[in-house]
Structure 1
């Protein structure tokens, strides 16, 4: 039974229905046949919702997956989500507070709180997966993995234990990014550096034991402006509270001003401790006074200095960023900023505060809490990265001039990878949270740590009887640790049975990873190192790096700017009121909310219409240049919705002209139009294969758009009408067969980018070609499917016919001739090939241009006043008598002559440029010369025609 096609394109009527059919049919699962092709979904946070970045990357991944599935590969798109330790704890904690029952994380205890997290995950944690389905994500949901599931949890424990046994995991005290609200270490990726207004305070540090020196200051021209003896050094800082943890002051070793003071001591203000003056090349002599304080426990650069000079590490902050007992008693228990205020007052009273001036500074803030992050000295678990990093660099960057096993696309991103890997530091993997993979380490009462897969193994391996009390480490592993195992933990590692069942040997390495540049080190590099270390395989062959999705003005999308676009709002539409409410929700500042509301109503006075998933996907693919950020424009989405509509209407035309007909086998073209469109189909298939291989989704979209809109929907549909309406039944049937065949192949070409509309249309077209099932199982078009050898002549002839039809339609349009009115056509000039084509395509020209007759002027015959056009050397004349106002035609010709003159000037400008002629490819220069000759012919014909009027 033929699939009934609705009279108009409305994506809301079929997109969700089709997805449910696909998923329930099992078509997303690997087939078990063909060459394996695997993509890992970068696991989104379980707390998350779909944003434009997700929609962008998922569209590209889905296009690759659908393309390879249609090419007969055994495709696995591994679905999953990440437990997102910090984010999830914050969400559940907020939910507990909103319930008003007085329950908190601490009151519930570890087990109780984790139980609440699992409850939340069961009810709300799959939101993003439902949204992914809405945009057409065709992954194997039956194999989806949550990082806290038993299988990946076993992999995490196994990896930690093995690394510890190999001496690559250790526990030590080092400086980390510390969030004083969440009271946990966080990664660099979770820190956002913001420029803020602050102050730079200059403070006197008195020299000890009566030491003094001659201080000299000079101006910018080197002129001495001050010379005096001083018994103090002046140090500038933006964080005066940290001076309580200073363990040295530092000068440059080549700074003659302070050379005599190296090795002396100063008395640390407000604490009375004596600390040394040291020399280190880290100091910038030209900045400030050339003297800096060294606080190794509270500054990452100072930490490195402290390591080089063997300085003590004095941590003066508690986990909540209050001052701890290592500081003088007067400040203990104070919040860091309250301590700062009190210290500055006391420094001023003591005459030690030299200056306070406004200063722009970069403040690191936690992306979750918004709190200023502190470099914090604490005991954490680390992975040694020297050997792992060297191997990871070799695998991607290659050695001895040979490429690595992992390819970055675009290739320039290997430089970013190389830079990070060459400057790699040991990896802090522990977090002070409850939600996550608990570290498999146990401590005895003396604080000694034992690592094992479980407590029983720890006792057995270390001969610890039941009388020895053990407590498990409270910390969990950061989510990047479990994510680093994603390529093989999702395939059942380390359990041999699970590995066999999930195709470990078949799908590792995976084929490509699609991800953003911002996590090349945090995720991509770690997956490469961990996969190689534990499996001896790279995790993927290609890494395709995408840009960011920005708004139409190139601004990064952010809630505070009010320019965030929700992809689901673009798919299903949203009213202006609802969009305003969404954008201003949660904003604490009324003025900001008011500003965002005004901007939203100005930009979207009627809200956002429903574009459908296909239009959104095509827009994102069309904008996906190599590694570039993309500016998302709703106008493009509207244009691609129109594209889907045109495809819909063209399909309805084909169906109406092929009713009650079924064709099998390959078409056997009888007309030049058929041969031309089949040759163009073959060329388009070749270009599509090349662009897929190169990850050039922008060029792929352009090629498919032009073939669908221009070649098929516009020209072939038009060129088919003479045959369909003619007296030659065989030509009509051949054209019907070709229409159906090319349309089916066109839908298959487009399917990876616009899966919903192509499936809906294919279901209507397929029965007329004896096909059934789903377009997802159709072979993707490849060049050579049909023998188009010898079709070149038809391509040239149809190109001529198209030029003739276009020229005549332009004349009719400019003369404002009614579409139904018949007009005569006079021909002048031209060569034998032109006259042969006129005879050959006469019926098509008369049909397509509403011509009452076609007549060739005798050589030397005077042409009547006529509207003129030129195709090659052939002049097309449409007599004006009784057709138009001659004055208006004179005006039209003047405008056309002016336009053509401008084109001639452009060509002459290029060809007169010696640089262009010397450096442009020869084919481009030749093309420009041909354009000049063509425009010149048109100009001469138009001028001659104007002279007649």
Structure 2
């Protein structure tokens, strides 16, 4: 015997029960069979963290697609996992060691540190999986993968060696992005640029002369004396702490202000270094003073100028962002403290001309938020041009389809067409260690194992190395995750195994727009390189989750809610509803708790509908030869109408799934359940107080309820499974119940149902405008053919609270008239009406309808509109005009009746 139904839906009593039931039944597990596969790989969240609202949206969208596929006859396989997140995780472990154990990373060997890192991962890495379960995600937990698993580690190393042997990976000294907080290189895509308020500092660089000379007493240096110039050149800089690394000053060759300085040299302030003045069209004469300090070691553009003009590069920064010995002054001082000290020193020496406010763009590390420093460093790089071409072709040809295409296709193409080589080495210990092996002289080979490296040395250098040392660096996290759709099925380490043959390529990738370059494009490159095929058929980009003020949700702002707290407060279904109902395809979404509250209210609405249906008692159908009563005729119409409406929505939702318009699909289902089923259908068939309902109508209603729960299940799995089993004794579970395709729709029945809803709404409006209470009976007169109302007459009587409907040929005196669907309705009541108030109400409505008609006529009188608009649009406007004319006529008659 089932337990009594609670007042409201209680999610905490059913969520754990049903999730465990689904797990015990093995519904989420997948192995290759004869069904078509539907494979999805979860974008692996960082092992360091918890699910934020962006993850919540992403996982919910994936679960909707996977559950829908499972209920549509596919062998659904959703692979979970997490990413080792080299920079973020190492930072977390370093912080933990210092805080909890008072140990610095530098006090440990690499092996000791990695032991702590794996212990940390085991302790905290499971948090995110717990959240995924609480959200109701139907992932195959037997396939859980971590990017530092043994097989995955081997796959990454194997790919590195392969690409190196193909000449696609190389090692060299180049200008890279450096994170002083993490003390590691970053790829271009790991740098976020922000507009910040800074300052421009105008500094004198004294000019040294080869000919007529004089001595500057303040610096004891020899400077130019020129009749048409001063003895210095002024340079504007944002970063005076890098002055000590200057190796030239550059001006435009066409700038007449500096023509006399060809061949001249200047003295670098603070360090008194003599450097040349060079001429290059790169310099914009209109910016600042038209003179540029050149610091090749600390700016990518200066670096390129340095290569072009054969300038030395002086690296004045240590890896941690303090000034190095090469700076000569302020050694050991933090770069930003050194900036203040440099400004003060320049001011003391009379070399600071002025300073002014200036807005600039600064690069910040995505992982640590530290200001990134350009730095020349020896790193490992992947050549990207050829692979980028293949990835571009895969999307341009339609082999991989991007959704929504109109927003992201151009962005994808732009990045690939302008791709740069990928810096893949990181100065960390947590991650896949680069498989390069060095001898004492610095010669190296690349091999998967040390034993293989020894053999390669012997073959390459005709000598056996006395010792080999492996490269200290690890690989960029994205160098492992670009293999994700392949190696979760062991496609690199065990090529041509059953799983990779069956599940690859996967069906759809759901991910955030912010990693289109980091991950999506690179996965396509890896797929084309190692599988000769795309990694997925579709890519669906979700929008960015923002708070109701439009700000991106972040821990720093403190505006991102805790997922588990939301679930505890509203329930998982309500949270899923809240995030999806706010998420238009591909666009950013504004999220706040009120959408979850709407989801909770929706749960309770469905729950109350269940309680209503379960209260009804059944009556047996009449003898087949007996004429059906008017009530049964109305019930039959209601059943027929809702069956057609249900099939109509099924077809609509199927189309929305195909277009990845999931928010619209949810809104369509929500309206069907809340409005059409609960507010209309159940009211139309509801028996009178303590009266039974015809058994066949009840069975149809239960069937409708089941189908509605099936439609809603991918979005809100817990409440739907619970209600499905509460409706009646079931032999299966909703989770795997196969969806039946939509039947044909009778448009005439739908049209008649819409008319009935319009009439009921119109009469309720008349009641409200005239203060006629819903419980007060009325007389209803209809200027129409009775036959047209036969199927709906009894429903209309009940909903309008009238004992009889009179069909008339002319207006009814002392009544309130309204026009609905082209028919005139006259409402008569025994209640004494306030004719003055009624006249005012009618006059306001009349004025509005006349204004509306005027706007329609103005639009239709516009020849350009009539000629250019679609015929159906023009006809819709004409119908609006006809309807308005009918309403005006009825309102005028009503006013005349009141006079």
In the superposition, the TM-score normalised over structure 2's length comes to 0.90
1:2-61 Cα offsets, whole Å, 9 max, x none, are 686434222232223222222332211226342222222111111111111111111111
1:370-424 Cα offsets, whole Å, 9 max, x none, are 43321111111111222222222222234xxxx4545353334121122212222
1:531-554 Cα offsets, whole Å, 9 max, x none, are 211221222222212221111122
Q: How does 1:644-663 map to 2 (within 5 A)?
A: 644-657=603-616
Structure 2 Cα separation of the partners of residues 849 and 450 of structure 1: 88
Distance of aligned partners of 1:822 and 1:345 in 2 relative to their CA distance in 1, 3 Å threshold: closer
Q: How does 1:800-879 map to 2 (within 5 A)?
A: 800-827=755-782, 829-830=783-784, 834-857=785-808, 859=809, 863-879=812-828
**Corresponding residue for 1:500?**
497
Distance of aligned partners of 1:282 and 1:773 in 2 relative to their CA distance in 1, 3 Å threshold: farther
Distance of aligned partners of 1:338 and 1:659 in 2 relative to their CA distance in 1, 3 Å threshold: same
Q: Secondary structure at the match of 2:282?
A: coil
1:136-175 Cα offsets, whole Å, 9 max, x none, are 2211121011111112111111011111111111211112
Q: How does 1:249-328 map to 2 (within 5 A)?
A: 249-259=249-259, 261-262=261-262, 264-328=264-328
State the Cα distance separating 1:682 from its structure 2 match: 1.6
Q: How does 1:14-29 map to 2 (within 5 A)?
A: 14-29=14-29
**Corresponding residue for 2:147?**
147
1:685 to 606, 625, 650: 650
Task: Please say which of residues 743-752 and 883-892 is displaced more in the overlay.
Answer: 883-892
**Corresponding residue for 2:509?**
513
**Corresponding residue for 2:433?**
438
**Corresponding residue for 2:412?**
417
Distance of aligned partners of 1:748 and 1:98 in 2 relative to their CA distance in 1, 3 Å threshold: same
**Corresponding residue for 2:48?**
47
1:737 aligns with 2:732: no
Note if contact 1:797-1:837 (Cα within 8 Å) is conserved in structure 2.
Answer: no
1:630 aligns with 2:592: no
Task: Please say which of residues 129-138 and 837-846 is displaced more in the overlay.
Answer: 837-846
Structure 2 Cα separation of the partners of residues 723 and 341 of structure 1: 84
Structure 2 Cα separation of the partners of residues 852 and 896 of structure 1: 28
Structure 1 Cα separation of the partners of residues 193 and 211 of structure 2: 40
1:463 to 458, 464, 467: 458
Distance of aligned partners of 1:305 and 1:723 in 2 relative to their CA distance in 1, 3 Å threshold: farther
Task: Please say which of residues 546-555 and 934-943 is displaced more in the overlay.
Answer: 934-943
Note if contact 1:34-1:74 (Cα within 8 Å) is conserved in structure 2.
Answer: yes
State the Cα distance separating 1:120 from its structure 2 match: 1.6
State the Cα distance separating 1:726 from its structure 2 match: 8.8
Task: Please say which of residues 385-394 and 741-750 is displaced more in the overlay.
Answer: 385-394
Q: Secondary structure at the match of 2:380?
A: strand
Q: Secondary structure at the match of 1:869?
A: strand
Q: Secondary structure at the match of 2:326?
A: coil
**Corresponding residue for 2:629?**
none
Distance of aligned partners of 1:411 and 1:885 in 2 relative to their CA distance in 1, 3 Å threshold: closer
1:547 aligns with 2:512: no
Note if contact 1:78-1:139 (Cα within 8 Å) is conserved in structure 2.
Answer: yes
1:468-502 Cα offsets, whole Å, 9 max, x none, are 111222211111111111111111032327x625x
Q: How does 1:483-494 map to 2 (within 5 A)?
A: 483-494=481-492
State the Cα distance separating 1:232 from its structure 2 match: 3.5
Note if contact 2:210-2:264 (Cα within 8 Å) is conserved in structure 1.
Answer: no
**Corresponding residue for 1:601?**
none
Structure 1 Cα separation of the partners of residues 68 and 795 of structure 2: 38
Structure 2 Cα separation of the partners of residues 380 and 227 of structure 1: 50
Q: Secondary structure at the match of 2:141?
A: strand
**Corresponding residue for 2:871?**
922
Task: Please say which of residues 357-366 and 928-937 is displaced more in the overlay.
Answer: 357-366
1:575-613 Cα offsets, whole Å, 9 max, x none, are xxxxxxxxxxxxxxxxxxxxxxxxxxxxxxxxxxx2222
Distance of aligned partners of 1:423 and 1:265 in 2 relative to their CA distance in 1, 3 Å threshold: farther
State the Cα distance separating 1:200 from its structure 2 match: 1.7
Q: Secondary structure at the match of 1:717?
A: helix
Note if contact 1:547-1:628 (Cα within 8 Å) is conserved in structure 2.
Answer: yes
1:697 aligns with 2:662: yes
Distance of aligned partners of 1:931 and 1:198 in 2 relative to their CA distance in 1, 3 Å threshold: closer
Distance of aligned partners of 1:335 and 1:934 in 2 relative to their CA distance in 1, 3 Å threshold: closer
Note if contact 1:880-1:886 (Cα within 8 Å) is conserved in structure 2.
Answer: no
Structure 1 Cα separation of the partners of residues 854 and 362 of structure 2: 56
Distance of aligned partners of 1:16 and 1:492 in 2 relative to their CA distance in 1, 3 Å threshold: same
Q: Secondary structure at the match of 2:410?
A: helix
Q: How does 1:197-596 map to 2 (within 5 A)?
A: 197-210=197-210, 228-259=228-259, 261-262=261-262, 264-328=264-328, 330-398=329-397, 403=398, 405-463=400-458, 468-496=466-494, 500-501=497-498, 503-572=499-568
Note if contact 2:620-2:695 (Cα within 8 Å) is conserved in structure 1.
Answer: no
State the Cα distance separating 1:570 from its structure 2 match: 2.6
**Corresponding residue for 1:943?**
892
1:514-540 Cα offsets, whole Å, 9 max, x none, are 222221111111111122112212222
Q: How does 1:65-104 map to 2 (within 5 A)?
A: 65-99=66-100, 101-104=101-104
Structure 1 Cα separation of the partners of residues 822 and 448 of structure 2: 85
State the Cα distance separating 1:367 from its structure 2 match: 4.1
Note if contact 2:618-2:695 (Cα within 8 Å) is conserved in structure 1.
Answer: no
Note if contact 1:672-1:797 (Cα within 8 Å) is conserved in structure 2.
Answer: no
Note if contact 1:749-1:781 (Cα within 8 Å) is conserved in structure 2.
Answer: no
**Corresponding residue for 1:780?**
739
Structure 2 Cα separation of the partners of residues 373 and 271 of structure 1: 25
State the Cα distance separating 1:895 from its structure 2 match: 4.3
Structure 2 Cα separation of the partners of residues 340 and 892 of structure 1: 74
State the Cα distance separating 1:872 from its structure 2 match: 3.3
Q: Secondary structure at the match of 1:411?
A: helix
**Corresponding residue for 1:594?**
none
Note if contact 1:385-1:424 (Cα within 8 Å) is conserved in structure 2.
Answer: yes
Structure 1 Cα separation of the partners of residues 702 and 493 of structure 2: 51
Aligned residue-pair number: 871
Note if contact 1:33-1:73 (Cα within 8 Å) is conserved in structure 2.
Answer: no
Distance of aligned partners of 1:390 and 1:231 in 2 relative to their CA distance in 1, 3 Å threshold: farther
Structure 1 Cα separation of the partners of residues 183 and 753 of structure 2: 73
State the Cα distance separating 1:902 from its structure 2 match: 4.8
Structure 2 Cα separation of the partners of residues 449 and 885 of structure 1: 100
Distance of aligned partners of 1:801 and 1:343 in 2 relative to their CA distance in 1, 3 Å threshold: closer
1:605-640 Cα offsets, whole Å, 9 max, x none, are xxxxx2222222223222222322111243333233
Distance of aligned partners of 1:42 and 1:280 in 2 relative to their CA distance in 1, 3 Å threshold: farther
Distance of aligned partners of 1:898 and 1:615 in 2 relative to their CA distance in 1, 3 Å threshold: farther
Note if contact 1:811-1:867 (Cα within 8 Å) is conserved in structure 2.
Answer: yes
**Corresponding residue for 1:124?**
124
1:441-485 Cα offsets, whole Å, 9 max, x none, are 222111222211111111122229886111222211111111111
Runs of 5+ unmatched residues, structure 2: 214-225, 622-632
State the Cα distance separating 1:349 from its structure 2 match: 4.7
Runs of 5+ unmatched residues, structure 1: 214-225, 573-609, 663-667
Structure 1 Cα separation of the partners of residues 722 and 169 of structure 2: 54
Structure 2 Cα separation of the partners of residues 546 and 839 of structure 1: 50
State the Cα distance separating 1:317 from its structure 2 match: 1.6
Structure 1 Cα separation of the partners of residues 517 and 689 of structure 2: 61
Q: Secondary structure at the match of 1:677?
A: helix
State the Cα distance separating 1:127 from its structure 2 match: 1.0
